[in-house]
Structure formats: structure tokens, C-alpha cells
Amino acid sequence: MGRGKIEIKRIENATTRQVTFSKRRAGLLKKAHELSILCDSEVALIIFSSTGKLFEFSSSGMKRTLSRYNKCSDRSETSLVQYEPERQQSKEVNILKDEIAKLQMTQLRMMGKELNGLSFKDLQQLEHQLSEAILSVKGKKEQLLLEQLENSRLQEQRAMLENETLHKQVEELKGLLMSTKHPMQPFLELQPVERKYALVKPDVIGSNVVCSCAMEKQGDSDTSLHLGLSTDTFCKRKAPERVSYSNDSGPGMAQS
């Protein structure tokens, strides 16, 4: 027959309790020794009896094992202190992620999507929010239109002022040009030239006539330039008078 289960509680009988302590202490020390050998582990066991007696076992020396234990406990505490800010940051990151997910869901619902699972009250609230948003958008739109109209009016007034200024400047320039304009000089009047003919000898008549013709042409050309006529035309209009000579009588008066 197998052993029955023993209820785990304090043994009231002192003798029985002492016997059980001795047996189980020896078994516990034996198991610790076997564990250190079989698994190549460092094992340390400390037991205090109810009377205050100390019982211990260490596979590598109690002081060495305790110092190693203290170092490991210190490292664990420092690691916990180091990991505390990271844990706090991870909590904040998780909170922010949840808020982002809620905002994305709200945005989708404002666009008319992901409406499944909403109650009638939630839909009414969403409708109210959308109507308020539409009114706000319309008000902003009207404000922008009014501002654009006001800017257009200001630009129109500026353009009109500039146009009036330019018109005044043009009128002033016209007045200056009219005041500085010189009148045209009248043409010179042609004065009649009196010609006097003298009796000359036949041998010198040719040279004198040529010289007088040349002089007359030069004077006539100046006069013709003032009248706007060419020299040839003026010579044709005023042909030189001829001088007739007779062999018997001396040189006579010129006949026209």
C-alpha cells in the first residue's frame, strides 16, 4: 500500500516534531549534496531549528557562495532601477498608441466610415458634431470671402488714385510742351533788284557779261532758295537782256 498524503501543517507534538525535523533535515542535506554533484552547481543550504541551532551545507564554501549571492542581488536591484524609466516610457508609449488609435477611429467616423457598433445616441452625437463642423467651415469661408472683397476694393482704389495721378502728370507735360513751342519764322520777302547797264567795248563784252551772269546767278540762286525754287527755273523766268551793236555807229543802248 502506498503512503497516504500528510497534511502540511505544524506538528503539535514536540517529540514527533523533533523527529520529523531530524529526518527531513538529513534528507534535505543529502538532496543538496546530490544536486551539486549531479548538475555541477554551486549549492548552499542554511537551516535554523526551532531551538536556534544552525545547520548548513555548501558545495563551494559558505562565504564564497554568500558573496556571490550578494553581488547578484545588488545587480538585480540596479537593473530594476535602470529598467524603471524604460518601463515608464513604455507605458507612455502604449497610452499614446491608444490615443492615436482612438483619434483615427474618430476621423473615420467623421468621414462616414466604421459606423458599425454605434448606438442611436452615438449616431445622434456624431451628427451634431458634423453639423457644428459644417457651420464652422461655412463661417470661415464667408470670412475669407469678405476679406478678399475688401482687398479687391482697396486695390481698385489704389489703381484709381494712380490713374488720376498719371492723368495729371500727362496734362502737365502737355501744358509744358505747348508753352515751350516756338512760332515758325516767316519767309524772307524778295526785294526787286535794280539793274544798270553801261556801254562796254565789244572786246570786253564777253568777259563782263559772263561775270555779270555769274554774279546774278549767285544772287538769284540765294533768292530762289528762300522762295523754294531751283536755280534753272529762276534763270528761265528772268532771261538776260541782249545788247546789240552796229558796225557804223558805236555801241548803243540795250533794247528790250
113-153 pLDDT, tens digit each: 878 878 888 888 888 888 988 899 999 999 999 999 999 99
Q: What is the structure's pLDDT at 146?
A: 94
Does 177 score more than 90 pLDDT? no
Q: What is the structure's pLDDT at 47?
A: 93
Cα separation, 210 vs 216, in Å, equals 10
How high is the mean pLDDT of the chain? 75
**pLDDT tier at 160 (50, 70, 90 boundaries)?**
very high
Give me the residue label for grid cell 534528507.
27
Cite the DSSP H helix spans in 113-248. 120-179, 202-227, 231-237
Q: What is the structure's pLDDT at 227?
A: 45
Q: What is the structure's pLDDT at 182?
A: 53
